[in-house]
Chains A and B, each alone.
Chain A
Amino acid sequence: MDIQLLTSGITFGLSLGSIFFLMTIGLSLCFGLMRVISLDQLLYYSVGGYITYSVSLLIGNLWLGVLAGMAVGGILGFAVERLVFMRIYERDITFSMITSFGILIGGVGVIKFFWGLVPRPVPVPIDSQIDILGTDIPVYRLVVVAIALLVYGGIWLFLNRTIIGKAIRAGIEDVEHVEGLGINVYRLFSITFIMAGALSGLAGGLHAPLIMVDPQMGLEVLAFAFMIVIIGGLGSIKGTLISSFLVGQVVSLGSLVYAPLAQMAPFVLMLLILLLKPTGLYGSPLLKR
Chain B
Amino acid sequence: MNVLRWWWSLVLTFALLALLRVFVPLPFANEIMIFSIYTVGCNFLLGRVGFISFGQPAYLAVGAYAAAFYFYYFGTNPYVGILIGVVAGIGVSLAVGPLFVRLRSDYFALVNLALAVIIYYFMQKVLVDITHGDNGLWFLTNLSSTPVLDLTRPDEFFVFALLVGFVVWAFYKYLDDTIYGACCLGSKINEDKLKFLGYNNYSIRLVAFVIANTTTALAGAMYAVYLGFVSPEITSPTRAADPVIVTILGGVGTLYGPIVGAIAYTGMKDVLSKVLGNWELVIGFLLVFIMLAGEKGIWGTLEPLLLKAFRRAPAPGAAGESKVGGR
Residues of A with Cβ closer than 8 Å to B? 37, 84, 87-88, 93-95, 97-99, 101-110, 112-113, 216, 219-220, 222-223, 226-227, 230, 234, 259-260, 263-264, 267-268, 270-271, 274-275, 278
Contacts and interface: CB of A to CB of B under 8 A. Distances in A.
B281 to A, nearest CB: 3
A101 B278 CA distance: 17
Nearest to A267: B114
Contacts of A105: 241, 245, 280, 283-284, 287
Nearest to A31: B106
20 contacts: A94-B50, A94-B105, A94-B106, A98-B52, A98-B287, A98-B291, A102-B284, A108-B284, A112-B278, A112-B281, A219-B238, A220-B237, A223-B237, A223-B240, A267-B117, A268-B118, A271-B114, A274-B111, A278-B103, A278-B107
A141 B238 CA distance: 27
Nearest to B106: A93
Nearest to B50: A94
B281 A113 contact: yes
Interface string B90-113: 000000000100111111011101
B113 A106 contact: no
A263 B287 contact: no
Interface residues of B, number: 44
Given A94-B105, A99-B292, A267-B118, A260 B52 contact: no
B284 A106 contact: yes
Contacts of B50: 94
A271 B111 contact: yes
Given A94-B106, A267-B117, A271-B114, A88 B284 contact: no
Given A104-B284, A112-B277, A98 B244 contact: yes
Q: Which 7 A-B pairs have the closest CB atoms?
A: A106-B284, A109-B281, A102-B287, A105-B284, A260-B125, A109-B280, A102-B288
Nearest to A268: B118
A260 B124 contact: yes
Contacts of A94: 46, 50, 52, 105-106, 109
B279 interface: yes
Contacts of B110: 226-227, 230, 270
B118 A274 contact: no
A214 to B, nearest CB: 12
Contact of B288 (A106, A227, A260, A278): A106
Nearest to A104: B284
Contacts of A270: 110-111, 114
Contacts of A84: 288, 292
Contacts of A37: 106
A272 B117 CA distance: 15
